[in-house]
Chains A and B, each alone.
Chain A
Amino acid sequence: MESIINRITRGHFWHFHGGIHPPQQKFLTKDKPIRNLPLPEQLILPIQQHIGQPGDLLVSVGDRVLKGQVLTKSKKPTNQSMVVPVHAPTSGIVTAIKNSVIAHPSGLSSLCIFIEPDGEDKWQERNICEYPELLTREQVIDKITSAGIAGMGGAGFPTHIKVNIQPEINYLIINAAECEPYITADDLLIREHSATILDGINILERLLTPHHILIGIEDNKPEAIKVLQQATADNPKIKVCVLPTKYPTGGEKQLIQVLTGQEVPSGVIPRKLGIVMQNIATCFAIADAVIFDTPLIRRVVTVSGQALDKPQNVWALLGTPINYLLEQCHYQNTGDTGQRNKSNVNANKHVIMGGPMMGFSLSTDQVPVVKITNCVLAPSKDEIPADNKEVECIRCGQCAEVCPAQLLPQELQWSAKAKDHQQLTKLNLADCIECGACAYVCPSQIPLVHYYRIAKAEMREQHVLHLQSEKAKTRFEARKVRLEKEKLARETKQKKAADARKAKMAENTPEASNAKSAVAAALARVKAKKAKAASLQPEEKLAEKATLEKDELQADKKSQVAAAIARAKAKKLAAKASASKLSDAETEAPTETSGEKPETDTPKVKTSETEASQAKASQTKASQPKEVIPKESVHKTNNYKKLKIAAAIAKAKAKKAQKLAEQNQSENSDELPQNKAETSLNEKAEAAQAKKIKDDEKAKRIAAAVAKAKAAKAKRQEQQNKQNQQEAE
């Protein structure tokens, strides 16, 4: 531990693997002060500018907002959620809240708040805190949370989560390396606002209580180093570490390795090693928020590139459109790209957001500045050609030499092109920091990082899909278990009901004995019939079978249709008799599944013609059964069962209707017990035969025969009922 500090004091640091030395190009902007820009005409604020979830909108179109007013807020307790609010960068009117293109390589749209500045730049009420030392830890974190600070180095991780940690912190590392070419935003910020930055560092020190504070800065910023050394001279805890210039020293893991010699293992966050890193611009924002009660509404943006006449660092309000920045820095509309620009200015503007190494080309220059925008680059055609001509990999291995993450870029590239995700995982693609060093040195000009980004996105999506499919599977399994349970419960209920009926029948009442004798008689009749059927000539049987088979499909549909008609009929009958209590029959029906399909044939006799046509129609559609089958029976796959259930429901209704009719007319004839007897007779006969003949078709045939008998009976009864009714009337 002590030796690390000793080494640092001596100015000896470690090295990370690889790295490159691209041309700095910082001279374009490093000697000009940060410029304040006049207010743009419009500000576009994406509601999500960080990693995590967007907050809920607090304003609506037409609202007048003051500078610093909060526009979105999270519902959850703010200290732990990944929600970061956004604030109004100036006073004005909310003109629209709609989707707009955001600063993302995809050029996709996201929800943005449009503010039209009123030019007054009027602040909301602020409470300037002169003594931040007197605030409690919670108060400080609350202030950081409500100020909407997200890591300003590039990733945009919510700062309030990063500072709200309890475990012991050895090193607080302030990242001022700014290793990427062109960018001088942090350099200038340090030179101009070192006092505020130091306030921010002190606040962080009180929050995290680290043993040491290391400021990592590259040696290409001598003025900034001098200023920092002067400012931190009276705090022995803070060490300004001047590092040799090498890209990408500013990478989190690389800077940790250079400063402490510790390598952050794959998949481990630095906090586990007792290290927390903050960008120096974030420190400034923290001081601004805690002391001056100023939320994060502006940031320093390096506007650079040889396509600009006046490249400079500017204080850009969040939401400022990029084209406004370019305009302010005198973007050349003529010059080397002039001829093409004349025809279509926007289409040929090659603008990069971020540095030349890690940035991405913008699809349009209408996108706004967000919290993580540190640089806007407008290179000329010679500076950074827009389209490189990629050629075959020559296996020179330079990419592996410069890779700071010690990966094998060449192999990764092949696997990425082959979409071999397994191999990519093996090669630790996830540890790639997308620094672009490999692509920079590649003599074949292969845009390696693009391939990695594509592969990473694909793998992320695959992972999400995998999780989703796992979830779907468990839900599917759970559903199956539930259905099984429900089925079992239903069966037990039915069995109970059947037992109860049997028990009732076994009781020694006149009705029961009546029924019993009727059953016995019916059984005898059935036996006689069977014997007769057995003696039938085989040819006859065959013919019968053939016709039955032919009509099999038809019969299926027919009986369904018939069942439906029967239902309707039963309803009509019941309506005639009495309109009340019909719904009870419906609910009771499913419990009587043992019922046969006598009524299904009743209307069949009557409406055979219409049925035939209906059946024909359905047969033509037989190849698409889903379309033909009445909707309510779609789910049941077993046709026979379906038939039975439909018939049972119809029968139950008819029965109920009959009962009602009888009750209404207060006719206590023998019909009811007789009816009952019939039913049970049919039930038993059918059950016995179904057992013997396992073939569905055969069973159906017999059922049909029984049904026919029943149908005749029912018809008779119906007529009788009608007569009775007429009599009653």
Chain B
Amino acid sequence: METFVANLTFALLAIAVLGGMSLLFGALLGYASVKFKVESDPLVEQLDQLLPQTQCGQCGYPGCKPYAQAVANGEAINKCAPGGDDTIKKIAELMGVEVEPLDENHEVDNSPKVAFIIEEDCIGCTKCIQACPVDAILGAAKQMHTIIIDECTGCDLCVEPCPVDCIEMIPIEKTTQNWQWDLNNIPVVQVD
């Protein structure tokens, strides 16, 4: 009987000690998780970072963020035409899925362009201003409009609404500033 009591006491003590410890650590961990919380970048944010932010809507979504949201929810990753294959590759890497070729419906010439308003034709209807996703068009009703080249993302959303077709997309000129060293131009041989 005595040994039983002793054993019981011992067992109870052990339970109490372990229970106390678990409570203590639980509290510690709980505190730490609140106090030292690390704000991780949500997936949508990371995806949004990869997209080119032209806000062109060619993917079928009204902007880059909504498409990022859709991709996070399982939408196809190959709908960003301005981003091209590079962007698809990056998204595939982030999402851990296979790289796909650019969606056929979206296969467009994605060389960098800027919109240009032929100023003598502009009637000042402000329709392009309303269409511009980044407010890069300057103008007022019945006044000539013009495009701030530095802010234009080349999304060509302004081209369609123009009633007099005075907006054209001009490829960005190659200068010594944005020139890319060309493997074909200089005698370099690629070895695999």
In the complex, A575 has a CB within 8 A of chain B: no
Do the beta carbons of B187 and A469 come within 8 Å of each other? no
A residues less than 8 Å from B38 (CB atoms): none
In the complex, A484 has a CB within 8 A of chain B: no
Q: Who on chain A is nearest to B155 by CB? A: A472
B residues less than 8 Å from A464 (CB atoms): 178
Closest Cβ of chain B to A151, distance in Å, is: 18
In the complex, A667 has a CB within 8 A of chain B: no
Q: A105-B181, A457-B181, A473-B64 are in contact. Are A389 and B189 (CB under 8 A)?
A: yes
In the complex, A166 has a CB within 8 A of chain B: no
A residues less than 8 Å from B185 (CB atoms): 105-107, 363
Do the beta carbons of B181 and A465 come within 8 Å of each other? no
Q: A110-B176, A392-B191, A469-B53 are in contact. Are A476 and B63 (CB under 8 A)?
A: yes
Do the beta carbons of A105 and B186 come within 8 Å of each other? yes
In the complex, A609 has a CB within 8 A of chain B: no
| A-contact 0/1 string along B50-79, CB 8 Å cutoff | 011111000000011000000000000000
In the complex, A309 has a CB within 8 A of chain B: no
Cα of A387 to Cα of B186 in the assembled complex, Å? 9
In the complex, A388 has a CB within 8 A of chain B: yes
Cα of A471 to Cα of B133 in the assembled complex, Å? 12
Question: Which of A392, A447, A469, A635 is close to B130, meaning CB atoms less than 8 Å apart?
Answer: A635
Do the beta carbons of A475 and B163 come within 8 Å of each other? no
Do the beta carbons of A476 and B55 come within 8 Å of each other? yes
Do the beta carbons of B52 and A631 come within 8 Å of each other? no
Closest Cβ of chain B to A587, distance in Å, is: 12
Interface size on A, residues (CB 8 A): 44
Do the beta carbons of B178 and A461 come within 8 Å of each other? yes
In the complex, B119 has a CB within 8 A of chain A: no
Do the beta carbons of A635 and B55 come within 8 Å of each other? no
Closest Cβ of chain A to B57, distance in Å, is: 11
Interface size on B, residues (CB 8 A): 36
Do the beta carbons of B191 and A472 come within 8 Å of each other? no
Do the beta carbons of B175 and A472 come within 8 Å of each other? no
A residues less than 8 Å from B160 (CB atoms): 626, 634
Interface set, chain A 372-425, CB cutoff 8 A to B: 386-392, 417
Do the beta carbons of A472 and B187 come within 8 Å of each other? no
Question: Which of B52, B134, B180 is close to A475, meaning CB atoms less than 8 Å apart?
Answer: B134
In the complex, B135 has a CB within 8 A of chain A: yes
Do the beta carbons of B176 and A631 come within 8 Å of each other? no
In the complex, A450 has a CB within 8 A of chain B: yes
Cα of A398 to Cα of B91 in the assembled complex, Å? 38
Interface set, chain B 148-182, CB cutoff 8 A to A: 151, 153, 160-161, 163, 174-176, 178-182
Do the beta carbons of A450 and B181 come within 8 Å of each other? yes
Closest Cβ of chain B to A280, distance in Å, is: 27
Q: A457-B181, A634-B161 are in contact. Are A479 and B135 (CB under 8 A)?
A: yes
Question: 7 new A-B pairs (CB below 8 Å) besides A475-B135, A476-B53?
Answer: A108-B174, A390-B188, A447-B187, A457-B180, A465-B52, A472-B53, A482-B135
- 25 A-B pairs within 8 Å (CB atoms) are namely A104-B176, A105-B186, A106-B176, A107-B185, A361-B186, A388-B187, A390-B189, A392-B191, A447-B188, A450-B181, A450-B188, A453-B181, A454-B181, A457-B181, A458-B180, A465-B52, A470-B53, A476-B53, A476-B63, A476-B133, A476-B134, A479-B133, A479-B134, A634-B161, A635-B161
